[in-house]
Amino acid sequence: MTNNLNLMQSSTIKKEENRLLVYYSPSINYDEIVRNIAYGTLIKGTFWVTQDNLIEVNEEEEYICFRIAGTEGAYYVLDKKVFNIENSIYVEKCLDITDKWFITYPHNSIMRRLDNLISKSFILLKVMMG
């Protein structure tokens, strides 16, 4: 599975039919991050990862995979717990989704900031993105 993912980056988004995943390869503290997942840990100041959304821990290649969204029809629905948001945010599946959609540097959550600006559900559509 990892052959077609660029794990040289610290995080890679992978779209699946029924979920949106992040493959995360930390440059330091891999063992500590994996241990902390049992209690919940914040990754890149954006993603709250627990056993509930953990998909895979690959000790050989030192990466973890976790779910950040489920689906509803033609949309990914961002997991409110993962992003610590109150409003539902929908993203059209046909969009080219990358980690830059979620993280600004150094380690700020774009979705949490968007959530602070809106007061109800929000949908990101291809026509909005150009």
- Between CA 44 and CA 49, with CA 46 as vertex, the angle to 5 degrees is 85
pLDDT in tens, 15-58: 999 999 999 998 888 999 999 999 999 988 889 999 999 999 99
**In which residue are the tokens 């890149």 written?**
44
Q: What is the number of structural domains in the chain?
A: 1
CB 119 within 8 A of CB 56: no
Confidence of residue 112 (pLDDT cuts 50, 70, 90): low
| Residue 106 structure tokens | 């150094």
Question: Residue 78 belongs to what domain range?
Answer: 2-129
Instruction: Name the average pLDDT for the chain.
Output: 83
